[in-house]
Chain A
Amino acid sequence: MGEFVSTISGIWRDSGFMGLISDWRYLVMLVVGCVLLYLAIVKEFEPLLLLPIGFGMILANLPGGGMIHMELFIYDPDNFDKLAQLGIETATLTEASFPMFGEVLKHGGLADMLYLGVKLGIYPPLIFLGIGTMTDFGPLISNPVSLIMGAAAQLGIFVAFLMARGLNFSGAEAASIGIIGGADGPTAIFLTSKLAPQLLGSIAVAAYSYMALVPVIQPPIMKALTTHKERNVVMKQLRNVSRTEKIVFPVICTLVVCLILPSATPLIGMLMLGNLMRESGVVERINKTAGNELMNIITIFLGISVGCTTQADTFLTMQTLYIIVLGLVAFAFGTAGGVLLGKLLYVITGGKINPLIGSAGVSAVPMAARVSQKVGQKENPHNFLLMHAMGPNVAGVIGSAVAAGILLNIFG
């Protein structure tokens, strides 16, 4: 009987419930994970990413679950005891020893293996491949001025960077926080995994949450910065773009951007490869695979592995709060930057460009373009800005990847 009781009490002692009791932060993270699931399922906020991220967060914060071993990826002397428990000699470890890929293969679990795709920068370029197969650069090619609006919308990245440095984040961390303003999930994850992997969970959650909130964040800023007359501008129809132009564009764009900024090659190169597969029309099978099955598989792996990095000790900090606030600032300034440049173009072109499409330079495709359409249609029900707004929208994808390449070049 005594053995029975001691065995049961041993099982209870090792259970996750004791872990929850001993550290309340796990409980908070489980609640946060459930909130993300609610937002994804009920409110349909970016469900493709927030659902696996939310569930990954729950899995990573079940005490004793051992889903992921971040101590194998990030240098932190406070975690050397965890490494010792895995049988790893810690006396000779330095920052250069991390990430410990060999030890990941020896001691890692499912989430560790999936996280390798994030750490090695594999998943985001593959997602960009899929995005490229779904992107039509026609509106951009027919109205190249859209690229300037895409550039202006990256203002949010650098304003957030500035403010993050003011809050004593390191340059690499501030760059990772700033890239939230690019409104591009894969770009944010790509840059953060290389510059500040310890902030990956917070930044990913902030980035995808704000991308889903674009229809809420942008309209007040757009209305505040434009007049009724400017919002009412009906733009001239876009010229037709030939198939030849659409095929040549991804090749030329890759050559130009990647020769100037080699660090942007993984993202820009894969984006343009996907687009070339789409526009060539001769590789329909792999085009469909890249845009559907491959995207879905990578999205699952990315969401789970990013969610699993959101452990209580790294997520429940003041840094996360700052990241959430700075993410909002980045989005707001990105929207403002695009709209203000739109206003400048309105003046320069004598009223031919509707400034509202500038807000679509925030590269949440196609949500930001839809917001421009809706705000414009409220002023004039017969004003169709959607196709015009797609130009800055896809230009913003290129712009945010370029900005990420610049920051990676400086801080990588």
Chain B
Amino acid sequence: MSKIRAKLEQVKSLKNGKGIQHLLNEAYKIVGNPMILHDMDYKLIAYVEGVIVDDPLWNELVQTGGIGKNTEGFIMQEGFIDDLANSNGKAAFLKSETLMYDRISKLVDNGHGVSVGELWTFEVNEPFEANDTEFIDAVGELISKELAKDQFYLKYGQAYQSTIMRKLIEGSIEDRRFYSVHVANLDRDLKDNIYLAVADTSQCNSPAHTNLEYFTDIFQRTRPAFKYMIYDNCIIILMSTDGTILYIKNVLGKLYGLFEQHNIYVGISSGFENLYELSKYYAQAVKALQSGLKSDGSQRIFLHNDED
């Protein structure tokens, strides 16, 4: 056990600041098995060079910088996507009956809580042991710290999250099996009851009201636990609570103050659990907002009413 602890401490003590490539190379020397990192669109970010890995995913990433539909389908058939979706952000063993190597995979976030990549390590040199996932978790955290310094990955994370939310709102996901890890990423920090809010800033009383990015940024900083995107000239807020929405001011927290301050009106859906039904709850929130704006000038938050 002390040997494992020592190895883990070595990994954790790797220094940031010299880039991801350097991190992977140094981690490889400690962990013993090659690693590769790609983004959520399967575009190569970095890999340990000089190692031969007889694996279709590794070879396609290294040779082409990405993967094609065949390999995407293969990953899905192997159950890797489900395994990752169920891992709750931790490193997961991925075993295969058909591939030469078992592997460990971990989703890597951008330091702001949004997964932007996937780190794989292949059982090429050293046989895996039960606690090898701890090493990969540690390497993943170090990579996150590197990515946190890079504005590109902050923007990429926002764009990626918005894309998934938009696909869910529009109901345009054709094969849920391929998207399960992306939806699980979105769902990971959400509590039991999810609510979708549509915030209309068109009546905002400041010159910044046309800049939805400005308000999205403010909301993000004020209530980082929620998820935001701009859609159809409104700001979509995905929020959650263990309880109900009845005490809406408690749920919204300081966001409520911002809405009042900037004359923003908000429609909120009824509670749900299934993110694949987001289109239905988006429609509810929009309807609540539209009905509310017509009916009452004194309220600011309009909850979906089943009788509407």
A and B assemble together: no
Question: Using a CB–CB distance below 8 Å, which chain B residues touch chain A?
Answer: none
